[in-house]
Structure 1
Amino acid sequence: MRIGQGFDAHRFASHDAGKPLWLACLRWEGDGIEGDSDGDVAAHALIDALLSAAGLGDIGTLFGVGSQSDGAGKHGAEMLRTTVDYLNERGMKPVSASVVVIANRPKIGKHREEAERALSEAIGCEVSMTATTTDGMGFTGSGEGVAAIADALVEPVDPSTRQAV
């Protein structure tokens, strides 16, 4: 088995942008997150963790960067499913994952289980999620944005059967 870690951070979009807030594959109340995709930092950090664990680069390697990239306009859940398919085709599959959201908002607590289910369904294994603040420090503490750190465990599989080897 192999472990990988990922990180992502984005600023909140202006209220005038009218962009929806997506986090952990769920739509939340409040102003959205800037980004070429839906800006879902939890999903993006998890993608980086999965790819890192499999030794397959990072989100930019798989989807590209910028408004014309393969990830532009996509939702986190779709990007996670694409990532898992990419891993499976290369003989790896997710076993377990964890995501930490670092932000003042949105408040994760009352939607934690729903977010864990959405992330787990997207990658096909259990994902746990926690949240924290930075006690007023930095861009997340001042309310300018949101960040996430993720860890993922993957194991080798036979690509033809997708069974552990």
Structure 2
Amino acid sequence: MSDLTLILLAAGNSTRFQTAVKKQWLRIDHDPLWLYVTNRITAMKNFSKVIIVAHPDEISFMSSMCDYAIVAGGETRQESLTNAMEYVNSPYVLVTDIARSCIPNELIERLIASKDIADCIVPSLPLSDTIVYVNTTIDRDQVKRIQTPQLSKTSVLKAALQTTLHYTDESSAIVAHGGTRYFIDGDESGHKITHTHDLSSLTCLKAPSNAIFTGNGFDVHGFEEGKPMVLGGVEIESPFGFLAHSDGDVAIHALIDALLGAACMGDIGMLFPDTDSTYKNADSKELLRQCVLKLHQFGFVILHADITIIAQTPKVASYKDAMRRILCQLLQIPLSRVNIKATTTEHLGFIGRKEGVGVLATASLHYFDWKNG
């Protein structure tokens, strides 16, 4: 049984990365970065437990992609680490950031080999440039670039984290608490992804797959007298609208399901549950905006959408162009990639009896190509 737990920190907001995609969701072939890094490290060493710290909004999707333990992160790196440490019961813990994606096996072996030398074992690199702090030149031989992973004694790290002061790495917290720190040689291949240009120096990362993913959506709503009708983002002249928790835009609801289906992200009810009062009478265009934002953050690019509206009433032919123009803006794709069709059921069934409208939608996605810009 291993005496070492692995914690991977992946709860950040990637504010300095400056792309629509959060860096932990960049695809390496098919795997998001957080999963690629986790699999890569666990293939090097047998751990008693593997814990991934994630943004609370991302836990559900991450859990559907792996069997690792996933816990909610906090507002800061230290809060996220503290949350994860609650689940650690092994004598030692190895903590690293998902952004350090090309950590070599040899570095991890040296960390483990040194585990009894001090309370925290830290990889570091020297600096070759002149260092000036305010107006004072500092002896660069006394300055180190600190890296992760860092290997700590669990009991010491847990005690060190019981503070209101914030530290940017484990060793600083441990030393401030009176613990000991031992430096080993770091590795330039453990370079951290902070900005997009950092990706070019990481040779272990393969380009994302060029696969295309297709999803289907279907939704139906009955009519409600006296309610405005909104369909495909457009207000339709009609004496009735749709009976629904939100504004009932059945076309956008089907489209959201198609998008989520292509991404394997569940369905609209999981993302916007009708049991949540937040979405009472919600504008479905805003729901679509949120869906598109989440798809982009998770590393997807929308290719196209095709919608079939099945209605005996109202007649929608004259509204199709307006629907296309609104939807292409919401999807952030060219007008040429949005198609709207309309048909009837030839007076058959509940739609034929003019009791409601049904919509079929198809959408396709591919991964954001960070490798080729």
Report the TM-score when normalising by structure 1.
0.90
Extract unaligned runs of 5+ from structure 1.
none
User: AA paired with 1:85?
Assistant: L
Provide the rounded CA distance (Å) in 2 between the counterparts of 1:71 and 1:3: 27
Q: Which amino acid aligns with 2:256?
A: I
| CA displacement at 1:127 relative to structure 2 | 1.5
C-alpha RMSD of the superposition:
1.7
In structure 1, what is the equivalent of residue 217 of structure 2? 6
1:33 aligns with 2:248: no
| Distance in 1 separating the partners of 2:354 and 2:363 | 27
Query: C-alpha distance in 2, partners of 1:83/1:32?
Result: 23
Q: Is the contact made by 1:102 and 1:146 (CA closer than 8 Å) also made in structure 2?
A: yes
- 1:112 and 2:323 are equivalent in the alignment: no
Counterpart position of 1:133 = 344
1:83 aligned to 282, 291, 295, which one?
291
Partner residue in 2 for 1:19: 227
Instruction: Return the letter of the residue paired with 2:269.
Output: G
Superposed CA deviations along residues 104-130 of structure 1, whole A, max 9, x for unmatched, are 122111111111111111111231100
Match for 1:81: what amino acid? R
Aligned partner of 1:52: which letter?
G
C-alpha separation in 2, matches of 1:70 and 1:83: 15
Q: 1:27 to 1:56 in 2, by over 3 A?
A: same
SS in 2 for 1:32: strand
Whichever residue aligns with residue 11 of structure 1, its letter is G
| Runs of 4+ residues deviating >4 angstroms | none
Name the counterpart of 2:357. Answer: 146
Q: Secondary structure at the match of 2:304?
A: strand
The offset of 1:78, in angstroms, is 0.8
Q: Which has the larger radius of gyration?
A: 2
Contact 2:220-2:358 within 8 A present in 1 as well: yes
Alignment equivalent of 2:258, drawn from 36, 49, 52? 49
Question: Judging changes above 3 Å, is the alpha-carbon distance between structure 1 residues 112 and 58 closer, same or farther for their aligned structure 2 residues?
Answer: same
Contact kept in structure 2, 1:25 and 1:43, CA below 8 Å: yes
5+ residue gaps, structure 2: 1-211
Opposite residue 322 of structure 2, the aligned amino acid is E
2:272 aligns with one of 63, 88, 97: 63
CA distance in 1, matches of 2:319, 2:260: 27
Deviations 1:86-145 (A, max 9, x none): 111111121100000001122111111111111111111231100010011111110000
Distance between the aligned counterparts of 1:47 and 1:89, measured in 2? 16
**Contact kept? 1:64, 1:70, Cα under 8 Å:** no
